[in-house]
Chain A
């Protein structure tokens, strides 16, 4: 089985940026070069015309919530994978806050079974740090690993106890797992519905101060230094967190970090009119914080852009603002929002692809380059196509996005995992 991707701009950050062809054979990259022809006689290769398109190593999202098992009315692994593919993602890491919690091998295996029946996007389950996300006892990391988990995290229910966090880091190290930390001091954030500041004051909504995040970022960096374990900090939203991570990296502490498209695109001004589609945790922050996130992306402090894709239905969102669930979906808008950073000069196109593909792959320990012999996990997108975001046409089951109706540039045209097309624009 051969597949020839012809005439695209092949972009593999730091390695290739040229108009070339890619020959895919049995799901793997067989050749990369100019004016390739399929070598097989007879049936010949299927040819994908990629002229005018950019061909990159498939996007990888380190942070999604697919809600299955437990909340299938919001998203299933099947619909989540379809949304990922449509957004140009060839792999996703699913967070463990399902029902039941992914704190054991059975749930991990269930997720992978469902994923195997989905469209083909690779699913890397993240197991829970603590049993039931309760912050009381460690879950069985080696069993989770054996079941297919790639990391551990109590995302959504931060680990408040410093001893547990220390032990989780140490324990994970023994199995080569890394720890993803949702940094939030719940005590300090208590009851908050949005970013603390002028807008929250004006709207009469309880605020979540920046310090609720950065205190925990600093604690986890200290524990990372203490244990030498690999720590990845999820959804960074504040300038203080960016500064703390920058400083930690300068000191050689093995920490990586991600931010999400909404933190580099929006500020808390988006919450005005009590729009529950602009409610997420951590909350949208101030202009200064957004600028700091830009700087962090630009100078390498923030390694990764991850979506924190968090589907919720109208049941959770069409309610009073303080009652509404936190979270927005992001898989089908991440790439064009990322491309806005390229347009505004925050990142180069190469830099963006590093944040959305190369660096997540490195963190996961996957060889993800456009090299002969590697699986053909590729995304083809049209850099210049402008279109209007229409949430009613999303593949995701949920519609909770603040970007509905936005005019954005950059459209995924085809997504391929191991040589199989998982999304093709109709």
Chain B
């Protein structure tokens, strides 16, 4: 099949076939990263702008490495050093970047919908590297790749996502992505952090957490942000860890061979105990490794690897 999407904005807009193509492409890309010379000329002459309005270590580095392994030229813009601090609007910044004729813009932004706004306005390809509390499609894709690698397939699996669902773009994209690929998704956490209507995205809400993880093939723990205490969403980190943290004791409820995932950065001792994070079921670092491969696949596919090949 051919990949024809201009932008990667969210998991809703990708079909199951497109997701499979991205994962298959990522598998090929992964091999490049294991070579002594980790570089191919595929995207030579292409310009990728990394437009990060929010702090990021993993995603930004991962995109940067992905672009370089494909020989694209990558450039970074971050909020603190951009004209945004001078009061320039997002649209104006984007139009100025567009005038420099990049091929792909990778954007992370604290406002939900920001990448959609740019995609509708600009001619470059937009890849959403996380927008507000809306979507983080590349994270969902690397999670899907990791699970497919470890379990062989996604259909029929059960994913439990635990934590602050309300503020998690990772949760939203994974609920949509995993259900689209034939898995079932259950969410749990403090009811203060379970948003209304989440069932309509395809997830089942289950309390308590022990019950939610008991028949799961994959447990995905979400980062809890300390500042959420201000909105009365939970009382203390100590209590959060006790009630909703994944520790060895709670792991007893899980199936043998369960995969433990976390999008990072992790709060050791809060939502996940160090011995679980570093334990035998954890695939947290595999997720990070797969992130590079998935982002290489996406850059390749939207930069017209496929589209151009067809017209050549």
Using a CB–CB cutoff of 8 Å, the interface residues on chain A facing chain B are 190, 196-207, 273-274, 318-323
Contacts and interface: CB of A to CB of B under 8 A. Distances in A.
7 contacts: A198-B200, A199-B197, A201-B196, A202-B200, A205-B133, A205-B134, A318-B91
Given A204-B133, A204-B172, A320-B90, A274 B112 contact: yes
Contacts of A198: 196-197, 200-201
A182 B112 CA distance: 28
B109 A204 contact: no
A318 B91 CA distance: 8
Contacts of A323: 111
A321 B196 contact: no
Contacts of A205: 112-113, 132-134
A320 B117 contact: yes
A289 to B, nearest CB: 14
A204 B196 contact: no
A274 B116 contact: yes
A44 B22 CA distance: 81
Contacts of B166: 201
A201 B134 CA distance: 8
Contacts of A273: 116
Contact of B117 (A196, A197, A204, A274): A274
B113 A201 contact: no
A320 B114 contact: yes
A382 B196 CA distance: 44
A377 to B, nearest CB: 43
B229 interface: no
A202 B116 CA distance: 14
A320 B166 CA distance: 19
Contacts of A207: 195-196
Contacts of B169: 204
B143 interface: no
Contact of A196 (B132, B196, B200): B196
- Closest 6 pairs between A and B when the two form their complex, measured CB to CB: A204-B134, A198-B197, A320-B111, A274-B113, A204-B133, A204-B112
Nearest to B12: A202
Given A318-B89, A321-B113, A201 B197 contact: yes
B112 A201 contact: no
Nearest to A318: B91
B109 A202 contact: no
B131 interface: yes
B135 interface: yes
B243 interface: no
Contacts of A322: 111-112, 132
B25 to A, nearest CB: 27
A207 to B, nearest CB: 7
B181 interface: no
A388 B132 CA distance: 36
B99 to A, nearest CB: 18
A197 B133 contact: no
B198 interface: yes
A197 B196 contact: yes
Contacts of A321: 111-113
Contacts of B197: 197-202
Given A202-B201, A204-B133, A320 B113 contact: yes
A81 to B, nearest CB: 31
B45 to A, nearest CB: 32
A230 to B, nearest CB: 36
A219 B143 CA distance: 49
B143 to A, nearest CB: 18
A204 to B, nearest CB: 3
Given A204-B134, A205-B133, A318-B89, 18 more contacts: A198-B197, A200-B195, A200-B197, A201-B196, A201-B197, A201-B198, A202-B197, A204-B113, A204-B169, A207-B196, A273-B116, A274-B112, A274-B113, A319-B91, A320-B109, A320-B111, A320-B117, A322-B132
B284 to A, nearest CB: 24
Contacts of A202: 172, 197, 200-201
Contacts of A204: 112-113, 131-135, 169, 172
Nearest to B135: A204
A319 B112 CA distance: 11
B224 to A, nearest CB: 18
Nearest to A193: B112
B232 to A, nearest CB: 11
Interface string B197-223: 110110000000000000000000000
A204 B201 CA distance: 12
Of A196, A202, A318, most buried by chain B (CB within 10 Å of CB) is A202
Nearest to B165: A201
A196 B198 CA distance: 12
Contacts of B109: 320
Contacts of B201: 198, 201-202
B177 to A, nearest CB: 14
Of B91, B131, B195, most buried by chain A (CB within 10 Å of CB) is B195
A201 B116 contact: no
A273 B113 CA distance: 8
Contact of B113 (A196, A197, A203, A318): A203
A186 B24 CA distance: 49
A203 B196 CA distance: 12
Given A198-B196, A318-B89, A203 B111 contact: no
A274 B113 CA distance: 6
